[in-house]
Amino acid sequence: SQTIHQWPATLVQPVGSPLSLECTVEGTSNPNLYWYRQAAGRGLQLLFYSVGIGQISSEVPQNLSASRPQDRQFILSSKKLLLSDSGFYLCAWSVIWGQPQHFGDGTRLSIL
């Protein structure tokens, strides 16, 4: 069966520090991968998605970036965090377009 791993679960970072969140999927090949952010009490905002290695589509202009160095690995990064980057970051995968997306446990990021 397929599983998705996301870490860390919780992160507290100072403003201006770098960020790296990692997500890996097991049990499937060439999944579509997604990064979302959910601000407190708000809906899900799609940040990036990828349909293959090295292929990244960005949805929202911001100081975040994403990379997919391997088939089942998706990384969210920032060089300098802003206060507005606080939120709940979720990685998700799907087999193909039109199919359900399945979420990791998320990373709660607090910026001080």
Q: Do 50 and 32 touch, CB atoms closer than 8 A?
A: yes
| Rounded least distance, CB 94 to other proteins, Å | 8
Stretch touching other proteins by CB under 8 A, among 13-21, 63-71, 72-80, 92-100? 92-100
Q: Check the CA dihedral 102-104-105-106 and report its sign.
A: negative
Residue from the set 11, 44, 56, 95 that interacts with other proteins by CB under 8 A: 44
Binds other proteins (CB under 8 A): choice among 98, 109, 111, 112? 98
Q: Which of 1, 14, 29, 43 binds other proteins (CB under 8 A)?
A: 43
Whether 63 and 80 have beta carbons less than 8 Å apart is answered as yes
Residue 101 found at the interface with other proteins (CB under 8 A) = yes
The structure tokens listed for 77 are 């990064």
Phi and psi angles of residue 88, each rounded to the nearest 5 degrees, phi first: -105, 115
Q: What angle do CA 70, 25, 81 make, to 5 degrees?
A: 75
Residue numbers at the binding site for other proteins (CB under 8 A): 32, 34, 42-44, 46, 49, 51, 57, 59, 90, 94, 97-106, 108
